[in-house]
Structure 1
Amino acid sequence: MLPLTQHLVGGLLALALFPGFAAAQDLRFFSIGTGGTGATYYPLGGAIANAISNPPGSRPCDEGGSCGVPGLIAISQSSRGSIDNIDGIKSGLFNSGFVQSDVAYWAYTGTGPFTGQTPAEDLRAIAALYPEHIQLIARKDADIGSVRDLRGKRVSLDERGSGSYVNAIEILRAYGLSETDVDVHFLKSAPASDAIIAGDLDAFFITSGYPTNAIIELTSRAPITLVPIDGAEAEAIAEEFGFYSVDTVPAESYSGIYATETLAVGAQWVTSAAVDDDLVYEITKALWNDQTRKLLDVGHAKGTMVTLETALDGIAIPLHLGAERFYREVRTRE
């Protein structure tokens, strides 16, 4: 299977050299808004984009070639995260995007961080992907043992267009803090890690599937701790908002880090109701074929948790009609 960039180049080359052939193949592009390059959305988005692509000129699936949607070139695009991806879908910048379950619900209902905005009533789900955990990383010598210890510290809440930022604000509030109580920064995980190493930052939030690449790299370059988000405050958040759950980042998810209690939300792949039903049906079908299963299992560690059995877990917005048709057929076959 070719890397995504090679798929894209190959498809564009086919367009340039054989425009009539490309047109006959009904070439289509399909973008997936993901997240920062140091987190989980971006590499997983690349794996899924690769799996569902099948550019003109590809070898047949049964000969070791592409098993995606004929004529489709899917593109994984980095972004600021969940809220940015919602805005991208609404504006037409992205055809689809990875979004936290809480952010999807808030956008669809016009609540939470979308209060005052027109509800995104055209937002539709393709699949639930995997649970992602709110991780609070701190320099080991910053004397941060709980969320309350962030008061007066230099803390990155992630970028404002991210789901991580929304989660960080909610968690600070639950523990009696706000943005004004910390020296706030707005960095993605990779630059936040660099700032930790340089001694310019004390802690940062990221909502991402563990193990997160940027944190793996950070543990090899600086002594850090994973700060628990637990106790009555965490339980109150989970009780107030049904899309949160109390969970644990297991020991040794990162080298030298103990098991740590925290909160989790679901990662979901969403799109717009305006996207063609037949196209989304074929994309959903390609997502769950046997070849995609192989790519997910050998890709990012979270890929093994992306399963058909959990594809509808925690979805609180309507399914896209194309995806709904695929899942209905699966149930009928069972």
Structure 2
Amino acid sequence: MIALSKHIAFALLLALSIPATAETYTIGTGNQSGTYYPLGGMLAKLWSENIPDFDMRAEVTSASVENIVKVASGRELAGISMGNVMEQAIEGTKPFPRKMDVAVLFALYPNLVQFIVPANSDINSIEDLKGKRVSLGAPGSGTRISAINILSILGIDKNDMDSQALNYSATTRALANGQIDAGVIVGSLGVGAITELSLTRNVRILSFSAAELAKISTANPAYYTYSAPAGIYNDVGAFMVPAVWNVLLVNKNLDNKLAYEMTKVTFEHIDELRKAISVTQSTTVDNMDELAGVSLHPGAQKYFDEHKIQQ
């Protein structure tokens, strides 16, 4: 037993004496058919190539809620989330059991609340979803939280329909196969899952009425009205929907210098990011603090303030 203890002690001493290699981190993203995953992968690549002793990879997750919980608990260094879910995390409201120790590095791009139906469907309004088979998004996803919250604001309960909990890929497959009547994807304009579906099936995106949009933004100012032109998806007409900013989040106790470097590297290499991920045209220094009521991490705030001084 004494000999074994000596071996353990020696192994620990040896481990402590080995020079440290690059730290390996993860960034929480989302489903592989959404925008979060390729965006997270590109950010990881930029940081790994331009921050000394730093190595990051993108992790497939159920998106916003899971990313926030993992970042707050130190299991991920960074994550991507919808702004409204980030607000709930900071406030400690459902689905979070308490206030989460997270902060924003910078706003990314707007997410649109897109309810998809077959083109020949008799569903022509949000009210028509009652009694239908509707996928509201995967458990723990920002899509599901947003869909349920928005429907609730409009006086529609998830129990008013045959609600299902499917992720992006499963939602579009179920729509294509006639297994559901409607599905919601809260994602970027031109998100891959809907783009691919529209190439093989005739679909529509439901428009919200002006009264519905006003009611939503009044109840939750994180949402604003987005008017999408026709032709974004194959043979899909123009539509008006609620939108909310996505944000890049980190633990609020993340080292200020590292937070500053992650922000600085992103914007110094923003052209590379935009070539790979088109929605990041909206990712600008001026838009960093676009999510109202949520403070930037001090490291990111330093970079933002420096930019403002230079203008």
**Helix, strand or coil at the partner of 2:76:** coil
Q: Deviations along 1:8-63, whole A, 9 cap, x unmatched? A: xxxxxxxxxxxxxx946x51223211111111111111111111112xxxxxxxxx
Shift of 1:278: 1.4
- Whichever residue aligns with residue 24 of structure 2, its letter is F
Calculate percent identity across the aligned residue pairs. Answer: 30
Q: Deviations along 1:146-198, whole A, 9 cap, x unmatched? A: 11111111110001211111111122223332111111111111111111111
- The answer for the alignment partner of 1:36 in structure 2 is 31
Q: Deviations along 1:224-260, whole A, 9 cap, x unmatched? A: 1101123312211101211110111221111111110
- Whichever residue aligns with residue 169 of structure 1, its letter is I
| 1:297/1:304 contact within 8 Å kept | yes
1:253 lines up with 2:226 in the alignment: no
- The answer for the alignment partner of 2:7 in structure 1 is none
| 2:74/2:251 contact within 8 Å kept | no
1:308 lines up with 2:285 in the alignment: yes
| 1:245/1:264 contact within 8 Å kept | yes
- The answer for the alignment partner of 1:159 in structure 2 is 138
Counterparts of 1:170-185 in structure 2 under 5 Å? 170-185=149-164
- The answer for the alignment partner of 2:116 in structure 1 is 137
Gaps of 5+ in 2: 1-17
**Helix, strand or coil at the partner of 1:310:** coil
Q: CA 1:50/1:315 → structure 2, altered by over 3 Å: closer, same or farther?
A: farther
Alpha-carbon distance between aligned partners in 2 of 1:47 and 1:79, rounded to the nearest angstrom: 16
Structure with max Cα Rg: 2
1:48 to 43, 46, 61: 43
- Whichever residue aligns with residue 67 of structure 2, its letter is N
- Whichever residue aligns with residue 33 of structure 1, its letter is G
Greater shift in the superposed pair: 201-210 or 307-316: 307-316
Count of matched residue positions in the alignment of Structure 1 and Structure 2: 295
**TM-score, structure 2 normalization:** 0.90
Give the CA RMSD over aligned residues: 1.8
Alpha-carbon distance between aligned partners in 2 of 1:250 and 1:93, rounded to the nearest angstrom: 40
| 2:153/2:219 contact within 8 Å kept | no
- The answer for the alignment partner of 1:104 in structure 2 is 86
Alpha-carbon distance between aligned partners in 1 of 2:160 and 2:142, rounded to the nearest angstrom: 21
**TM-score, structure 1 normalization:** 0.84
Shift of 1:315: 4.3
Gaps of 5+ in 1: 1-21, 55-67
2:98 to 118, 134, 150: 118
Alpha-carbon distance between aligned partners in 2 of 1:50 and 1:230, rounded to the nearest angstrom: 41
1:219 lines up with 2:198 in the alignment: yes
- The answer for the alignment partner of 1:85 in structure 2 is 67
